[in-house]
């Protein structure tokens, strides 16, 4: 069933599937002591620099909880946008696994700024209060908006002046880079990101992410946090091997560009109808808009997609690397019928 519900619903790129099949070759030492994990590690260092230390995990929530454990202690606090994935969509896992207070900040476009963060940086050294230690941002944000390199750097500079860390959730990092026309390194480690949850599941991979540390003191204990968090796969080669084709020949970028361009074309189609109002900028592969009730019901009869805010009839469409021209054409025809 074709849908615009989520890029999590998309298929696996044939080159990635082929890599998994090829990794299913005879026996290999478990827990990452295999040639595929070594090759994937080398690829990640190629992309992000020699300082990058990747630790492969099962999924996004696992990546975020492991990363945040590595940069905090239970008496710390983690700052994030109110709409942040770690606050809304991870069932309290980051708070439970880190023991930290999660401090949320209103951000209408899903993006934090130094001006929004700074008022929360207080009570350092006061034992009655959780000590601010990390800021979580997601690239792309939960509202489909994208941090520029300069915006990431401004946040990182502020945090480092307070001896704090910046964690980036890069579940859709590829889509951000496609929009910004920059490398993944430029908007992460070069911009001051300390630790990254690096995902590809939404962009053509089957499963798995990598927690990538850019600082030695963070890397030091990451293997233990991964193990304690039940995120160390015994047959790790099936996770790590996917990153090899994903990073070779810029497959990650090709896939992201396809997803983004499909979203832009779909947005242009939606903009033709004055009854539809976009609630966020269209920068990535996610579209947020309000739509009247009757057309909404008719669309829901044919397509599966999520309502973002049912009180105001705000819907979210998400395109994927494997969204086709026909998928968009079919939606355009449907819109013509719905709005008659």
Share the mean pLDDT of the chain. 97
By C-alpha distance, which of 67, 97, 35, 77 is closest to 221? Answer: 67
**105 contacts: CB under 8 Å, gap ≥ 6:** 79, 80, 81, 82, 112, 116, 117, 120
Cα(227)–Cα(231) distance, integer angstroms: 6
> 296-322, pLDDT tens digit by residue?
999 999 999 999 999 999 999 999 999
Cα(142)–Cα(33) distance, integer angstroms: 35
Cα(330)–Cα(289) distance, integer angstroms: 19
Can you give the pLDDT at residue 298?
Answer: 94
User: What domains are defined for the chain?
Assistant: 13-245 (3.40.640.10), 250-337 (3.90.1150.10)
By C-alpha distance, which of 107, 115, 190 is closest to 148? Answer: 190
Cα(203)–Cα(125) distance, integer angstroms: 43
Segment 206-223 shows an average pLDDT of 97
Kindly indicate the confidence band of residue 2, based on its pLDDT and cuts at 50, 70 and 90: confident
Does the pLDDT of residue 1 top 90, yes or no?
no
Does the pLDDT of residue 85 top 90, yes or no?
yes
H-type alpha helices, the chain: 14-23, 35-48, 60-70, 85-88, 93-98, 114-117, 149-161, 173-180, 216-219, 222-228, 237-240, 243-247, 251-270, 293-302, 325-339
- The count of C-alpha atoms lying within 13 angstroms of the C-alpha of 106, restricted to the half-sphere facing its C-beta, is 1
- Cβ neighbour number for residue 163 with a 10 Å cutoff: 9
- What are the CB-based long-range contacts (under 8 Å, 24+) for 272-279? 272/335, 273/335, 273/339, 275/339, 279/314
Can you give the pLDDT at residue 315?
Answer: 98
> 129-165, pLDDT tens digit by residue?
999 999 999 999 999 999 999 999 999 999 999 999 9
> 218-245, pLDDT tens digit by residue?
999 999 999 999 999 999 999 999 999 9
**46 contacts: CB under 8 Å, gap ≥ 6:** 247
pTM of the model: 0.97
Kindly indicate the confidence band of residue 23, based on its pLDDT and cuts at 50, 70 and 90: very high
């Amino acid at each position: 069933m074709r849908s615009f519900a989520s890029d999590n619903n998309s298929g696996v790129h044939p080159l990635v599937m082929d890599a998994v099949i090829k990794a299913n070759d005879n026996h290999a030492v478990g827990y990452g002591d295999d040639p595929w994990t070594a090759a994937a590690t080398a690829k990640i260092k190629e992309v992000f620099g020699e300082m990058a230390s990747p630790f492969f995990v099962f999924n996004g929530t696992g990546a975020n909880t492991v990363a945040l454990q590595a940069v905090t202690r239970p008496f710390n606090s983690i700052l994030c946008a109110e709409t942040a994935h770690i606050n809304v969509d991870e069932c309290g896992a980051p708070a439970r696994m880190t023991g930290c207070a999660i401090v949320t900040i209103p951000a209408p476009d899903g993006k934090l700024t130094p001006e929004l963060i700074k008022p929360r940086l207080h009570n350092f050294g006061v034992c009655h209060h959780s000590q601010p230690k990390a800021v979580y941002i997601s690239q792309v944000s939960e509202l489909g908006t994208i941090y520029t390199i300069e915006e990431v750097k401004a946040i990182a500079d502020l945090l480092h002046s307070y001896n704090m860390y910046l964690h980036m959730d890069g579940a859709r990092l590829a889509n951000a880079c496609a929009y910004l026309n920059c490398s993944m390194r430029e908007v992460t480690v070069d911009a001051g990101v300390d630790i990254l949850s690096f995902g590809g599941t939404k962009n053509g991979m089957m499963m798995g992410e990598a927690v990538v540390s850019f600082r030695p003191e963070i890397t030091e204990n990451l293997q233990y946090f991964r193990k304690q968090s039940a995120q160390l796969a015994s047959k790790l080669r099936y996770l790590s091997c996917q990153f090899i084709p994903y990073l070779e020949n810029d497959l990650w970028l090709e896939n992201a560009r396809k997803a983004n361009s499909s979203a832009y074309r779909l947005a242009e189609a939606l903009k033709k109808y004055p009854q539809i109002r976009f609630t966020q900028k269209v920068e990535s592969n996610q579209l947020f808009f309000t739509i009247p009730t009757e057309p909404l019901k008719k669309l829901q009869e044919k397509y599966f997609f999520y309502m973002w805010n049912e009180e105001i009839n705000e819907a979210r469409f998400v395109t994927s690397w494997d969204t086709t021209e026909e998928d968009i054409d079919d939606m355009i025809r449907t819109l013509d019928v719905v709005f008659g």
